[in-house]
Structure 1
């Protein structure tokens, strides 16, 4: 009897297009190839084949990371955006401030008493 595993969480299932890759992976791999292969052929004559291949690999790694890396269901660009916001945009030291409700009531009572004094002509 044939057995097919069915995942419990169907939101994690991604549709595969070609070679068991998602559309996102295909796009990122294509962009990596468009960046790396011309770089290899342009630098091969000047620096040698091994150095040119290392340069090609270094140029393609970011595209591969964007295609494959995922943590807690979030792709790399979402994780980088959260990191940039936490590191540079938001303040690093957040001050805990509370609003004292009773102090607000007391201030309101004091201001009403002062208005009453001013209105009734009882100035200090």
Structure 2
């Protein structure tokens, strides 16, 4: 009898639709094909076949990354949003600064009796 291991956390299991790809992957790869293939066929006679293939790969790469890349269960757009929020939108952690009373310059004023305020008169 064959034993099949079933994961305990079923939230990480994703439904595969066609060719072992999820719906998100199919949509992103379809967008990549819709952008890359016309570029290749329209530009291969102008710039050459290898340059057109390189350009097609560069145009299709972002959609491929959005389809396949996942870190800690988060897709690429959420990872990028978190990085941009932490690095650029929110200010960095502020330092705790206090006023150092020992380095502060003391301002001396003269009292009515001619003595300087804040000092004890020596006898």
Query: Shorter-chain TM-score: what band?
Result: 0.7 to 0.9
In structure 1, what is the equivalent of residue 8 of structure 2?
8
1:64: Cα distance to partner? 0.7
In structure 2, what is the equivalent of residue 38 of structure 1?
38
Q: How many residues align?
A: 97
Root-mean-square deviation (CA, aligned residues, Å) is: 1.4
Query: Which has the higher Rg, Structure 1 or Structure 2?
Result: 2
Q: For 2:44 and 2:82, locate their aligned partners in 1 and report how far apart those are by CA, in whole Å.
A: 38
Q: For 2:32 and 2:25, locate their aligned partners in 1 and report how far apart those are by CA, in whole Å.
A: 10
1:8: Cα distance to partner? 2.0
Q: For 1:59 and 1:12, locate their aligned partners in 2 and report how far apart those are by CA, in whole Å.
A: 30
In structure 1, what is the equivalent of residue 66 of structure 2?
66
Q: For 2:21 and 2:48, locate their aligned partners in 1 and report how far apart those are by CA, in whole Å.
A: 33
- CA deviation digits over 1:35-72, x for unaligned, max 9? 10011012101110000000000111111100010010
- Structure with bigger helix share is 1
Which runs of 5 or more residues in structure 2 are unaligned? 98-123
Q: For 1:26 and 1:5, locate their aligned partners in 2 and report how far apart those are by CA, in whole Å.
A: 27
**TM-score between both structures, scaled by the size of structure 1:** 0.74
- CA deviation digits over 1:78-124, x for unaligned, max 9? 00000111111111343459xxxxxxxxxxxxxxxxxxxxxxxxxxx
**TM-score between both structures, scaled by the size of structure 2:** 0.74
Secondary structure at the aligned position of 2:37 is classed as helix
